[in-house]
């Protein structure tokens, strides 16, 4: 029995009287029957064991094997999205035929020629044929008649942003687009190395050596293993086969016109 406090407040007294006035609840007949049966059978007071069903888990070997698969998928996606637009023919001599890795390839249809323009491909143009190659938004390269060049890989979006090309003979005109920002292009010849980070310039393989003319921006020019000297817009640098000191002078007059024309076409051809 619960003993009441010695003194109740008026509110406590009213609550007590209200509870006492409630009718006594009647026991449920079915519940009383179940309770009686449990008491007789001895189930009342029996220890109950709660068994939890474990959550489904993957085998450890399967969980760990999924890690390299996910990592490989992430790498593939990153490489895919980093890849630059492929080389395509922006312009070319009608009916022209170009040697690509020792195989004559017609410039028309363009798709057949473009499929062969992989990084490292050696492209050789006969006299009377010229071609302009573009990697959308990045680089525009005009190869003139008689030029032999090993194509670079265009710079990637986030990494692999240094491209290297080799010019064996002839003359190339180069200009870069907005997507080239932050990248590097190196053009090597037997006597020289030209490195740019966004500009318009020409590289000429001459009988006496290599000449680099700069129309826009700045190009670092030096020997294959020498320090690069900055050549600014409107200037040229020549490095000679016979080992005489380099010549630094105004750019060749006719190259000014060639590069001016390329810049005028840049916005259209680099799309």
Q: Is residue 21 part of a domain?
A: no
What beta strand segments (E) does 88-145 contain? 88-92, 97-100, 103-106, 122-124, 131-135, 139-143
pLDDT tens sequence across 162-203: 899 999 999 999 999 998 888 999 999 999 999 999 899 999
Tokens 């294959």 sit at which residue?
A: 224
Residue scoring higher pLDDT (70 or 138): 138
Residue 151 reports pLDDT greater than 80: yes
Residue 54 CA to its chain's centroid (Å): 44
pLDDT tens sequence across 108-144: 999 999 999 999 999 999 999 999 999 988 999 999 9
Q: Is residue 264 part of a domain?
A: yes
Residue-wise over 78-101: b if at least 16 C-beta within 10 A, else e?
Answer: eeeeeebeebbbbebbeebebebe
pLDDT for 112 = 94
According to DSSP, the residues that pair with 133 across neighbouring strands are: 89, 141
CATH code of the domain in which 119 resides: 2.60.120.1440
Task: Tell me if 133 sits within 8 A of 88, measured CB to CB.
Answer: yes
pLDDT-wise least confident of 19-28, 173-182, 225-234:
19-28
d(CA 128, CA 125): 8
- Contacts of residue 1, defined as CB under 8 A and 6 or more positions apart, other chains included, come to none
pTM (whole model) above 0.75: no
Q: Can you tell me the mean pLDDT for 148-167?
A: 84
Q: Can you tell me the mean pLDDT for 17-42?
A: 67
Number of domains in the chain: 1
* HSE (side-chain half, CA atoms, 13 Å) at 20: 6
Beta-carbon count within 10 A of 176 CB? 26
Percent of all residues in the chain with a pLDDT value above 90, rounded to a whole number: 58
Q: Is residue 113 part of a domain?
A: yes
Q: Is residue 41 part of a domain?
A: no
Identify the band that residue 26 occupies on the pLDDT scale cut at 50, 70 and 90: low
Q: Can you tell me the mean pLDDT for 66-79?
A: 57
According to DSSP, the residues that pair with 204 across neighbouring strands are: 171, 211
According to DSSP, the residues that pair with 134 across neighbouring strands are: 88, 140
Residue 194: domain span: 84-269
């Amino acid at each position: 029995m619960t003993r009441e406090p010695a003194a109740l407040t008026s509110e406590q007294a009213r609550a007590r009287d209200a509870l006492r006035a409630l009718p006594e609840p009647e026991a449920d007949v079915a519940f009383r029957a179940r309770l009686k049966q449990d008491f007789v059978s001895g189930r009342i007071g029996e220890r109950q064991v709660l068994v939890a069903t474990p959550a489904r888990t993957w085998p450890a070997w399967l969980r760990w094997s999924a890690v390299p698969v996910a990592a490989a998928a992430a790498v593939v996606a990153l490489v895919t999205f980093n890849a630059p637009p492929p080389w395509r023919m922006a312009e070319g001599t009608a009916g022209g035929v170009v040697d690509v890795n020792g195989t004559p390839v017609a410039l028309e249809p363009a798709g057949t020629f473009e499929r062969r323009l992989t990084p490292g491909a050696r492209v050789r143009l006969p006299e009377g044929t010229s071609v302009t190659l573009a990697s959308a938004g990045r680089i525009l390269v005009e190869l003139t008649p008689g030029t032999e060049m090993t194509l670079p890989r265009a710079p990637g979006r986030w990494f692999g942003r240094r491209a290297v090309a080799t010019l064996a003979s002839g003359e190339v005109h180069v200009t870069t687009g907005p997507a080239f920002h932050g990248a590097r292009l190196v053009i090597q010849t037997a006597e020289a190395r030209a490195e740019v980070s966004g500009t318009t310039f020409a590289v000429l393989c001459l009988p006496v050596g290599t000449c680099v003319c700069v129309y826009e921006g700045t190009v670092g020019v030096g020997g294959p293993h020498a320090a690069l000297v900055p050549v600014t817009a409107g200037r040229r640098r020549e490095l000679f086969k016979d080992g005489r000191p380099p010549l630094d002078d105004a750019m060749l007059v006719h190259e000014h016109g060639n590069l001016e024309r390329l810049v005028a076409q840049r916005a259209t051809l680099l799309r």
